[in-house]
Amino acid sequence: MNVRKKLSASSEDYLEAIYNLVSLHKVARSKDIAESLGVSRASVTGAIKLLSDKGLVDYKPYGYVYLTEKGGKEAAAVAKRHTIIETFFVKVLGVDQQEAESAACKAEHALGSTIIPRLLSFTEFYCEQDNIAAEFKKFCKSKGI
Amino acid sequence: MNVRKKLSASSEDYLEAIYNLVSLHKVARSKDIAESLGVSRASVTGAIKLLSDKGLVDYKPYGYVYLTEKGGKEAAAVAKRHTIIETFFVKVLGVDQQEAESAACKAEHALGSTIIPRLLSFTEFYCEQDNIAAEFKKFCKSKGI
DNA sequence: TAATATAGTTAGCTGTTCCTAACTTGTCAA
DNA sequence: TTGACAAGTTAGGAACAGCTAACTATATTA
């Protein structure tokens, strides 16, 4: 409980998966977590125990998994980073949705509180500029990208 | 030797450190690798063995560490990703050099061949635009960032 | 309600990445 | 040349992240 230490990428992934499942189905089941992360059920049990030790998840054997308040905040933060990065990839770089999604999944663990707010601001700023996206597309085409 | 598998973030870090040390001092010593990655000398020995098994590094106990041709290519690719990301952070997002460097260190393992070329193109494109950096600065100020 | 299918857990293993402590090897200077 | 210090390695261990196989609990349904 209450270990003040940065979460591993893996733990963040589990937290995010739980967060998304809860958003969709009100509840997160071990099997669905396993499926959404492409991991065995046994691995989920192990990961959940770690999260539980850190006070991020409420869990009793054979029961559903719930985020604690603290876990919910962490998860929401990860999900937000994910969205900001994905949006930047799509709206600014012009990457297609699926690629952007899977790239954001990896990058969300690497970018912190210096980069993320600026990335968000930049995306907002960029989207306000008239025509610039079209200009960039032209630029890319001229370079054969 | 010749294991066709994606390198771990850790292996990429070691490769990059060796690459940078060789660029600077013609030679990479275990102690300097340890120092530049903030890791114990024993960890370096272990990591070097892994890289050697993969044919990325030439190494004899108690000798210097050299990159093989294959290792050199890998290392250069990592270093290039690093530069592209760092440049984007500085030139586009306006993050200061040091922050950009350390953030790029983490992100370089997460961004792949979809995102990196686009990020590079985008940075080039952006730097060609007159005044836009100043506009973004204004935008940030107006939002209190 | 009893049998069975599904979900979850446990045990035990592998591999990675780091550590410290203790040892070996190499180098330099008195 | 040798002895001390620096550099490198080995051994052993911890934490994490995954796996399979075998077990247990829960839920469904005939």
- Tell me the pLDDT tens digit for each residue of A71-121: 999 999 999 999 999 999 999 999 999 999 999 999 999 999 999 999 999
pLDDT surpassing 50 at residue B1: no
Domain range holding B132?
Answer: 79-142
- The residue from B51, B74, B97 where one domain ends is B74
Q: What residues of chain A lie within 8 A of the CB of B132, using their CB?
A: 129
- pLDDT tens by residue, B90-133: 999 999 999 999 999 999 999 999 999 999 999 999 999 999 99
- Give CA–CA dist A144/B46, Å, rounded: 43
Look at residue B2 and tell me if it is in a domain: no
Q: With bands split at pLDDT 50, 70 and 90, how would you rate the model's confidence at B145?
A: confident
Q: Give strand D nucleotides closer than 7 A to any protein Cβ.
A: 6-12, 16-22, 25-26
Any CB–CB contact under 8 A between B121 and chain A? Answer: yes
pLDDT surpassing 50 at residue B2: no
Looking at the fold, whether A43 and A60 belong to one and the same domain comes out as yes
Q: Is the CB of A39 under 7 A from strand D?
A: yes
Q: With bands split at pLDDT 50, 70 and 90, how would you rate the model's confidence at B144?
A: confident
Look at residue B67 and tell me if it is in a domain: yes
Q: Is the CB of A33 under 7 A from strand D?
A: no
Look at residue A2 and tell me if it is in a domain: no
Look at residue B3 and tell me if it is in a domain: no
Q: Which of A82, A101, A113, A122 to probe by mutation at the B interface, max B CB count within 10 Å? A: A122
User: Nearest-CA residue to the C1' of D19?
Assistant: A40
CATH assignment of the domain containing A50: 1.10.10.10
- pLDDT tens by residue, A24-47: 998 999 999 999 999 999 999 999
Q: Is the CB of B14 under 7 A from strand D?
A: no
Any CB–CB contact under 8 A between A114 and chain B? Answer: yes
Closest by alpha carbon to B75, among B4, B5, B11?
B11
Looking at the fold, whether A48 and A89 belong to one and the same domain comes out as no
- pLDDT tens by residue, A50-76: 999 999 999 999 999 999 999 999 999
What mean pLDDT comes out for the span A7-27? 96
Looking at the fold, whether B70 and B84 belong to one and the same domain comes out as no
Looking at the fold, whether B83 and B138 belong to one and the same domain comes out as yes
Number of domains, chain B: 2
Q: What residues of chain A lie within 8 A of the CB of B117, using their CB?
A: 145
User: Nearest-CA residue to the C1' of D21?
Assistant: A42
- Give CA–CA dist B97/B90, Å, rounded: 6
Any CB–CB contact under 8 A between A31 and chain B? Answer: no
B29: left (phi > 0), else alpha (psi -120 to 50), else beta? Answer: beta
Any CB–CB contact under 8 A between B120 and chain A? Answer: no
Q: Which nucleotide is nearest to A64 (CA to C1')?
A: C8
Q: With bands split at pLDDT 50, 70 and 90, how would you rate the model's confidence at B4?
A: low
Looking at the fold, whether A130 and A96 belong to one and the same domain comes out as yes
Looking at the fold, whether B98 and B68 belong to one and the same domain comes out as no
- Give the pLDDT score at B3: 46
Contact B99 A114 (CB under 8 A): yes
Q: With bands split at pLDDT 50, 70 and 90, how would you rate the model's confidence at A4?
A: low
| Pure H helices in chain A | 9-25, 30-37, 41-53, 69-87, 97-107, 115-128, 132-142
Pairing of strands A65-67, A57-59: antiparallel
- Give CA–CA dist A51/A79, Å, rounded: 17
Looking at the fold, whether A32 and A57 belong to one and the same domain comes out as yes
pLDDT surpassing 80 at residue B30: yes
pLDDT surpassing 90 at residue A5: no
- pLDDT tens by residue, B36-83: 999 999 999 999 999 999 999 999 899 999 999 999 999 999 999 999
CATH assignment of the domain containing B131: 1.10.60.10
Any CB–CB contact under 8 A between A87 and chain B? Answer: no
Choice between A39 and B4, residue whose per-residue pLDDT is larger? A39
Tell me if B28 sits within 8 A of B64, measured CB to CB.
yes
Q: What residues of chain A lie within 8 A of the CB of B129, using their CB?
A: 132
Burial A61-100 (b: 16+ CB within 10 A, else e): eeeebebbeebbebbebbbebbebbbbbbbebbbbeeebb
Q: Give strand C nucleotides closer than 7 A to any protein Cβ.
A: 6-12, 16-22, 25-26
Who among B107, B111, B145 is closest to A117 (CB)?
A: B145
User: Nearest-CA residue to the C1' of C26?
Assistant: B62
* Exposed / middle / buried, residue A140 (Cβ in 10 Å: 0-12, 13-18, 19+): middle
- The residue from B74, B92, B124 where one domain ends is B74
Q: Looking at residue A140, what DSSP letter applies?
A: H
Looking at the fold, whether B94 and B133 belong to one and the same domain comes out as yes
